[in-house]
């Protein structure tokens, strides 16, 4: 680790980027290049994280200061935010995360890309290290390994609980077995630099959640013999696990529990260790938040539910170390909260009233006395801003993209439309450019596909709208958060009814007069890339062209590589229907009838590069002329590995393709 001795510029990070954003007034209702330069959209998040120390005296800022630069860790004194007190670097590695453990210590992770090839699924090209930084001694210590924070142990300021394999969390819900992979948990003494094993995961008890005292409280394991997922708990001070819930993973109706990831135990009543908070649908369509009594083994009161969406998470008190339940979260036009605590609700209401373009407001850290806090906002008119609340005043500290102004961004409209089979109402997010319609439209799809994707601020969507295109983001069947019926309707429908749901969204907007029927395209990444390739071979075709990023072009080959490790029949049958039985794009190449742009990172460890190479080879052998291909050298699957040069290359090619090669006359 390296500490910069020399002072850097105290001005905002944007000053050193060497890019000037176009004024908002220059945006026109014409398609082509965005009015905000591609260089601006291609930036990594300028400010990635901000956090206040427990005593409220210092603020850490995770920031990048140049287009090709690496993240730095800046520490400020709260009483003087005009210049950094410390500027830290992890050379030759790069700091990728940081958080206060105590008034004195910061813990985080760093990475370095050391390989140029991927050896197998999920075997990426980065190496990781944990680090501890001692603010008082101005000294780094390195902790070898891929670690994330399990609990900061607020009552032990010199110690922290870490878990293996979580420096970069799994960022999507596509891996149903991630929760069953054993992890190890260590207590690290940051003052002494020692590491002590606390709990070693096994197949039966693979992972654990800990309370603020360092007690393991619950885990979910798998029984190979019975094919059941089993949840266990412990009370504080107990040394063994007690079973409290199990379900058969061979049963189709339990797939939603397994794949959604949110139907589980979420926390405990800090005043009563016998009471837990569980999200489950318990035979109903929508999941609710329930109280569970571990003494009796019985569900108690239903604490929160909606008729329109699942409860997907909980809120606890914003006060550090206080796990009091204050709210339940569900998806709609944004993530909404059912509040249980009027004081916490009033605090959030006050913050939303003061932050411009408030949308998804969150208290990301707070001092132990409650008087100082860091608040973040992210939404359609805000790429992500950070605010310091101190001594009753609020000050903006920075933005994920300070070069983009609210006037250059578009609002997101939450709509719902009927599926063609009459079974469902599809939630969707629609954005329109300036001017009157009908607009050219790009239908976008998230990865997964069994994920929830409420759209607040999405950089790609906003960039496309800034270039004059409308954008639609359907939450087609099998998307989570909208109930079991919505999920189950997608079983075995990859490339079929799931694809119809996306097409129906475009047709709905055409019928409303909002979209030009001769100017519609499809763009997706990961599973969305698969959907783009499926769309390219449909007939009759709604689209004039498709852009397929990190696309699963041969799901059959992927399935054979990632054989079901646990043998649960329902999950195995589900996996086969992702292309073994459903639509496999590489076998549909001869049906391609519109232009394709295919983009892929050559070190993608989630959707391996062979998907790109094999599909490109199949296109060339079939003599298809209207396909273009772009490799992003050194890019992995997720956005945090797309560096400035990757994004600039991709966006430049994408807009050229849309303007000049997307159907007759371009889009």
CA dist 498 and 578 (Å) reads: 11
Contact yes or no for 291/300 (Cβ under 8 A): yes
| pLDDT (0 to 100) of residue 368 | 96
Q: How many residues does the chain have?
A: 667
**Of 137, 170, 201, at which residue does a domain stop?**
201
CB neighbour list of residue 346: distance below 8 Å, 6 or more residues apart = none
pLDDT at position 297 is: 84
Q: Give the count of beta carbons closer than 10 Å to the beta carbon of residue 342.
A: 9
φ, ψ dihedrals at 32, nearest 5°: 145, -120
Name which of 286-290, 294-298, 390-394 the model is least confident about: 294-298
Query: Mean pLDDT, to the nearest integer, of 90-114?
Result: 94
| pLDDT interval class at 15 (50, 70, 90) | low
232 falls within a domain? no
What domain count does the chain have?
A: 2
The answer as to whether 54 is a domain residue is no
Q: Is residue 434 part of a domain?
A: yes
Please determine, for residue 29, whether its predicted confidence score (pLDDT) is greater than 50.
no
With respect to residue 120, please indicate whether it lies within any of the assigned structural domains.
yes
Q: Is residue 576 part of a domain?
A: yes
579 — pLDDT class (breaks 50, 70, 90): low
Closest to 424 in 3D by CA, of 484, 371, 378, 342: 484
Using omega within 30 degrees of 0 as the cis cutoff, is the peptide bond preceding 196 cis? Answer: no
How would you classify the pairing of strands 515-525 and 439-445? parallel
Which residues are within 8 A (CB) of 25 and not within 5 positions of it... i.e. 6 or more apart? none
In the prediction, which pLDDT does 448 show? 83
- Three-class DSSP category at 540: coil
**Residue 612: pLDDT over 90:** yes
CATH number of the domain at 646, please.
3.40.50.1820
Q: What percent of the chain has pLDDT over 90?
A: 72
Q: Is residue 654 part of a domain?
A: yes
Residue 278 lies in a domain: no
Judge whether residue 11 has pLDDT over 50: no
Among 158, 178, 201, the domain-final residue is 201
pLDDT of residue 286: 98
The arithmetic mean of pLDDT across residues 425-443, rounded, is 96
Paired residues of 545 in beta bridges: 521
Q: Of 147, 166, 201, which residue sits at a domain end?
A: 201
User: For the ranges 3-7, 151-155, 329-333, 461-465, which has the lowest average pLDDT?
Assistant: 3-7
Residue 171 has pLDDT above 90, yes or no: no
Structure-block tokens of residue 597: 């742009």
Which range is least confidently modeled, 23-27, 315-319, 482-486, 546-550? 23-27
Q: Give the residue numbers spanning the domain of 433.
A: 412-661
Q: Confirm whether 619 is domain-assigned.
A: yes
């Amino acid at each position: 680790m390296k500490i910069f001795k020399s002072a850097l510029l105290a001005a905002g990070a944007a000053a050193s980027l060497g890019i000037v954003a176009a004024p908002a007034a220059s945006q026109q209702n014409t398609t082509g290049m965005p009015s905000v330069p591609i260089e601006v959209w291609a930036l990594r998040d300028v400010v990635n994280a901000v956090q206040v120390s427990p005593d409220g005296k210092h603020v850490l800022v995770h920031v990048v200061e140049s287009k090709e630069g690496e993240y730095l860790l800046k520490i400020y004194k709260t009483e003087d935010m005009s210049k950094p007190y410390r500027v830290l670097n992890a050379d030759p590695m790069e700091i990728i995360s940081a958080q206060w453990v105590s008034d004195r210590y910061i813990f985080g992770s760093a990475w370095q890309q050391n390989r140029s090839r991927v050896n197998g699924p999920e075997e990426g090209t980065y190496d990781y290290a944990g680090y501890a930084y001692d603010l008082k001694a101005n000294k780094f210590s390195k902790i070898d390994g891929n670690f994330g924070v399990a609990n900061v142990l607020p009552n032990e300021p010199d110690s922290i609980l870490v878990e293996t394999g979580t420096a970069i969390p799994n960022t999507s819900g596509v891996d149903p077995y991630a929760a069953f992979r054993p992890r190890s948990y260590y207590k690290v003494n940051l003052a002494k630099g020692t590491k002590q094993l606390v709990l070693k995961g096994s197949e039966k008890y693979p992972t654990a959640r800990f309370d603020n005292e360092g007690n393991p409280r619950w885990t979910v394991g798998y029984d190979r013999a019975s094919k059941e997922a089993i949840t266990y708990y412990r009370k504080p001070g107990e040394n063994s696990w007690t079973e409290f819930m199990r379900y058969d993973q061979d049963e189709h109706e339990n797939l939603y529990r397994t794949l959604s990831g949110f139907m589980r135990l979420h926390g405990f009543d800090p005043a009563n260790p016998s009471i837990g908070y569980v999200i489950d649908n318990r035979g109903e369509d929508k999941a609710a938040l329930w109280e569970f009594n571990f003494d009796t083994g019985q569900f108690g009161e239903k604490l929160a539910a909606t008729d329109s969406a699942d409860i997907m998470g909980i809120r606890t008190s914003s006060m550090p170390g206080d796990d009091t339940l204050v709210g339940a979260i569900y998806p709609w036009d944004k993530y909404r909260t059912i509040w249980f605590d009027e004081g916490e609700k009033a605090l959030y209401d006050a913050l939303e009233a003061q932050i411009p373009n408030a949308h998804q407001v969150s208290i990301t850290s707070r001092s132990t006395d409650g008087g100082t806090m860091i608040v973040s906002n992210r939404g359609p008119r805000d790429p992500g801003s950070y605010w310091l609340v101190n001594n009753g005043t609020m000050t903006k500290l920075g933005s994920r993209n300070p070069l983009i102004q609210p006037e250059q961004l578009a609002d997101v409209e939450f709509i719902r439309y009927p599926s063609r089979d009459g079974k469902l109402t599809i939630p969707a997010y629609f954005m329109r450019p300036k001017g009157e319609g009908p607009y050219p439209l790009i239908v976008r799809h998230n990865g997964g596909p069994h994920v929830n994707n409420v759209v607040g601020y999405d950089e790609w969507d906003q960039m496309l709208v800034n270039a004059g295109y409308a954008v639609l983001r359907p939450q087609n069947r099998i998307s989570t958060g909208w109930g079991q019926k919505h999920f189950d309707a997608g079983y075995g429908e990859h490339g079929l009814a799931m694809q119809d749901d996306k097409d129906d969204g475009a047709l709905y907007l055409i019928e409303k007069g909002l979209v030009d029927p001769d100017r519609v395209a499809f763009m997706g990444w990961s599973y969305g890339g698969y959907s783009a390739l499926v769309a390219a071979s449909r007939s009759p075709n709604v689209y004039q062209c498709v852009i397929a990023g990190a696309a699963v072009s041969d799901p059959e080959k992927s399935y054979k590589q990632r054989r079901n490790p646990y043998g649960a029949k329902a999950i195995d049958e589900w996996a086969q229907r992702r292309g073994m039985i459903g639509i496999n794009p590489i076998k549909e190449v001869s049906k391609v009838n519109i232009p394709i742009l295919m983009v892929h990172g050559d070190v993608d460890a989630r959707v391996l590069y062979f998907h790109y190479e094999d599909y490109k080879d199949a296109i060339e052998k079939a003599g298809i002329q209207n396909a273009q291909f772009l490799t992003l050298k050194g890019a992995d699957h997720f956005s945090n590995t797309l560096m400035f040069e990757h994004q600039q290359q991709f966006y430049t090619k994408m807009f050229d393709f849309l303007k000049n090669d997307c159907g007759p006359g371009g889009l």
